[in-house]
Amino acid sequence: MKMLIKNVTAVLPDGSTPVTNIMIDKNKIAGIGEVPEDFRPAKVIDGTNHLAIPGFVNAHTHASMTLLRSYADDMALMDWLNKEIWPAEAKMNDEDIYWGAMLAMLEMVRTGTTTYADMYGPWMERVAEATIDAGLRGVLSRGIIGVAPDGEQKIQENADLFRQFNGAADGRLKVMFGPHAPYTCPPKFLEKVAAAAQDLGAEIHIHMHETMDEINGSLKEYGERPFTWVEKTGLFDGKGTLAAHCVHLDDSDFAILKKHNIRVAHNPGSNMKLASGVAPVPRLLQEGIVTALGTDGTSSNNNLDMLEEVNLAAMLHKVNEADPLAVPAFTALQMGTEFGGKAVGIEDIGRLEKGYKADITLLNMQGPAWCPRNNPVSLLVYSANASSVDTVIVDGNVLMEKNELKTLDEERILFEAQRCADRITK
């Protein structure tokens, strides 16, 4: 189907923001600019007073964890996982996974995210189902904890997930392998994950170097930093790696990141809330390492609002480096969009440009946060919030138009998610 977004202020890849027209043909952007006479759209969206941006790419989350939002706060990572999160997750069933994921879909659509990279499980097929039902683009991995007795079975489940869903839903689903972290997956086990992923040509999604405890624990147990010994398992030798966090990095870690083109998902909100530290984002960007943004799960954030992460990325590194240019506004926006596409290994998302996928978010610029209109990118990153998002398009399909949801039943999702959460947490 042909669709036209007319008279919209569009954030183009060079950061300019002309008032223009976006032409969509099937699932792609067919052109931006003057509308040719022979372009006859079946649907027209009036973009007057709206800002069009590429849909946000959440490069690291745990969607079904929405059920644990506001359940365990103000703790450091390992206490939080061991004492609260893992016992609660042990009570989840496949219905919880589905409705938790549906609550995440609802929040992502409402806040303008069009693609997300997830690590969770078991029952990741229910997350796939939720993604298909909602119409989002999902990069799914079965979270694998190797120290558990059923570690090998989890590798098989990840392989099954890949076979069943990689490329499914018109290519909207992609599957990676999800070894949880170096402290839950010993070297011999990671060798097996690496072999299984490489057999299938799958990429890796893993938490790396999140806290100083992780680094110190690894130095104690293996005499080496996690990146050093994980590299020796061959995990980074396959199709590609998405490493979440990368908060604590020395020169040897930077060398490994560059050697293997490892892409980083920076999670400023989660890193602040769990008091994990501040990732060296300005240096990552300077050294040409693909650095995207993620929310992490909603028990360490506590929401899936990518515009908030864009704002946090722009603000946190300024104060940390005492440098207002540490992460400029447009760079932060690129981290949440274009760099996100690269990080999740989908090269044709994240830019408003001919040939790219029609994954587009529109924000209503009426209201005080958007006035005066001196600089739309600045208004977006520093002034507005995601309540301005009113229209979301993924793969050429409209998921929300002028705040009206097209694929999701909000009332039902909120009811079912509360019911599931009550069973787990009460």
Ligand X SMILES: CSC[C@H]1O[C@@H](n2cnc3c(O)ncnc32)[C@H](O)[C@@H]1O
Question: Residues near 130 by Cβ (< 8 Å), separated by ≥ 6?
Answer: 63, 98, 101, 102, 104, 105
- The whole-angstrom separation of Cα 43 and Cα 391 is 14
Closest CA to 300 of 241, 223, 367, 244: 244
Closest CA to 176 of 145, 155, 192: 155
Please state, as a whole number, how many other Cβ atoms lie within 10 Å of the Cβ of residue 94. 13
Q: Applying CB under 6 A, does 116 fall inside the site for ligand X?
A: no
For residues 58 and 391, which CB has a smaller minimum distance to Zn ion in the complex? 58
Query: Binding site annotation covers 89?
Result: yes
- The whole-angstrom separation of Cα 330 and Cα 333 is 5
Residue 92 interacts with which of ligand X, Zn ion, none, CB < 5 to 8 Å by class: none
For residues 282 and 297, which CB has a smaller minimum distance to ligand X in the complex? 297
Query: Binding site annotation covers 209?
Result: no
Residue 420 interacts with which of ligand X, Zn ion, none, CB < 5 to 8 Å by class: none
Q: With contacts defined by CB under 6 A, name the span among 46-54, 118-126, 305-313, 352-360 that binds ligand X.
A: 118-126
User: Do 198 and 238 touch, CB atoms closer than 8 A?
Assistant: yes
What are the residues facing 4 on neighbouring strands? 23, 44
Closest CA to 136 of 338, 394, 391, 362: 394
Structure tokens at 56: 């946000």
- The whole-angstrom separation of Cα 351 and Cα 359 is 9
- The whole-angstrom separation of Cα 100 and Cα 95 is 8
What distance lies between CA 5 and its chain's CA centroid?
26
With tokens 């490489």, the residue in question is 198
Q: With contacts defined by CB under 6 A, name the span among 24-32, 103-111, 113-121, 247-255 that binds ligand X.
A: 113-121
| Least distance CB 394 / ligand X (angstroms) | 24
Structure tokens at 83: 């004492």
For residues 53 and 75, which CB has a smaller minimum distance to ligand X in the complex? 75
Question: x/- string (CB under 6 A) for ligand X, residues 247-286?
Answer: -----------------------x----------------
For residues 105 and 119, which CB has a smaller minimum distance to ligand X in the complex? 119
Q: Footprint of ligand X on residues 142-181 (CB under 6 A)? A: 143, 145, 180-181
Among 58, 295, 300, 337, binds ligand X (CB under 6 A): 300
For residues 145 and 392, which CB has a smaller minimum distance to Zn ion in the complex? 145
Closest CA to 113 of 303, 330, 315: 303
Q: Applying CB under 6 A, does 119 fall inside the site for ligand X?
A: yes
| Least distance CB 71 / Zn ion (angstroms) | 16
Q: Applying CB under 5 A, does 296 fall inside the site for Zn ion?
A: yes
Q: With contacts defined by CB under 5 A, name the span among 23-31, 87-95, 294-302, 383-391 that binds Zn ion.
A: 294-302
| Least distance CB 154 / ligand X (angstroms) | 8
Q: Applying CB under 6 A, does 50 fall inside the site for ligand X?
A: no
Structure tokens at 391: 């229209």
For residues 20 and 299, which CB has a smaller minimum distance to Zn ion in the complex? 299
| Least distance CB 413 / ligand X (angstroms) | 21
Query: Binding site annotation covers 60?
Result: yes
User: Do 290 and 340 touch, CB atoms closer than 8 A?
Assistant: no
- The whole-angstrom separation of Cα 197 and Cα 177 is 6
Residues that bind Zn ion (rule: CB under 5 A) add up to a total of: 1
- The whole-angstrom separation of Cα 128 and Cα 175 is 10
Q: Applying CB under 6 A, does 207 fall inside the site for ligand X?
A: yes
Q: With contacts defined by CB under 6 A, name the span among 12-20, 114-122, 216-224, 333-341 that binds ligand X.
A: 114-122
With tokens 């570690």, the residue in question is 151
User: Do 100 and 416 touch, CB atoms closer than 8 A?
Assistant: no
Q: Give the interface with ligand X as residue ranges (CB under 6 A).
A: 62, 65, 77, 81, 85, 89, 119-121, 143, 145, 180-181, 207, 210, 270, 296-297, 300
List binding-site positions for Zn(2+).
60, 62, 207, 296
Q: Give the interface with Zn ion as residue ranges (CB under 5 A).
A: 296
List binding-site positions.
60, 62, 89, 142, 180, 207, 210, 296
